[in-house]
Amino acid sequence: MAMKNFFEHSNKRFAMIGSGSWATALVKVLLQTQARISWFVREEAMITHILQHRCNPYYLQSVNLDAERLDMSADINKVTSDADVLIFCVPSTYFGEEIAQLTASLEQKFIVSAIKGMVPGENITITEYFNRKHHVPYDNLGVIGGPCHAEEVAMERLSYLTLACKNEKVAQALAKAFTCSFMKTATATDIYGVEYAVVLKNIYAMAAGVCHALGYGDNFAAVLITNAYHEMIDFLNETHPAKSRDSASPAYLGDLLVTCYSQFSRNRTFGSLIGKGYSVHAVKAEMNMVAEGYYGTRCIFEMNKKHKVSMPIAEAMYAILYEQQSAVTVIRRLTEKLR
């Protein structure tokens, strides 16, 4: 079956791979549009809790889940085999651990990445991983972009998602599954750009957090984020030019803005704690959730050794996070490079 026709037939079964806050928020959305959902939850105790109490015991506890319509399992291969559309939504740092268990065939599966990071050590995105390692064609791959925070989805505040697929009609069909009273959707065909924008905006959100903690104000933040936007687009255009890329759209500019400014941004929070003098080890221990920007910073830094795009903000975060340079000194130098 040609993947451009994948969603022409109804009754496609959706499966969520992951059980963190973002996965829980997306399950909440899918329950608005789908009769049943398969859900890979690695802990049996969490499955029992959700079935009994209709909520995730660790993330977004206020979200009421219709457990009777959830087919949960701690066996990733069972969930994969039973579904047509697989949404991978685990922290990138745990992706390798989860995918190592996967032996079920991915043939005739449509795979969507809702992961906001890259494969550690590989320096590639999730869709690139499935394409290169599992030979999944890009016609079978999609990406979920923002701007969207799980916490606001939990509160049913009006939110927006971008669904990127190689084929526009496929993207439109996939978007319908995520469209409900509190979620609007847009589509894109720039899979590469949307997925890398998700990675890059987390790095810049950490920079915004560091600067805020160091006492830089809103005026400077506006300049910082403007420069971050140009830095992000320069990287995308250099590494993968695309005629269809609308860089001022919500998937790029919008997601960057909300991640840099929002009180719910874990990457901004991570950066803020670093700016206050906490060590990386202490911040990781303090936070209950993974800040993808920390891992993404190394991946982008390593990638850019080849491309040599001017990325002073991303390089500043690498110096702070991985070279243990003084945040005060690094940001002071950065202020001389911004325009």
What does the chain come to in residues? Answer: 339
Instruction: Return the domain boundaries, the chain.
Output: 3-189, 193-335
pLDDT band at residue 329 under the 50/70/90 scheme? very high
Mean pLDDT computed over every residue of the chain: 93
Domain 3-189 has CATH 3.40.50.720: yes
Residue 43 structure tokens: 């802990």
DSSP calls for 153-173: HHTT--EEEEEEESSHHHHHH
pLDDT (average), residues 117-122: 89
CATH entry 1.10.1040.10 includes domain 193-335: yes
Q: Please give the share of the chain, as a percent, with pLDDT higher than 90.
A: 88
Convert the pLDDT of each residue in 163-205 to its tens digit: 999 999 999 999 999 999 999 999 999 999 999 999 999 999 9
Non-local (6+) Cβ contacts of 261 within 8 A are 208, 221, 225, 268
pLDDT reported for residue 175: 96
pTM of the predicted protein model: 0.93
pLDDT-derived band at 1, boundaries 50, 70, 90: very low
Q: Lowest-pLDDT range, 52-66, 132-146, 239-253, 256-270?
A: 239-253
The CA–CA distances, whole Å, from 153 to 22, 47, 88, 210, 292 equal 9, 21, 18, 26, 19
CA 230, distance to chain mean position in Å, is 20
pLDDT at 10: 67
Question: Residue 236 is encoded by which pair of tokens?
Answer: 């995308």
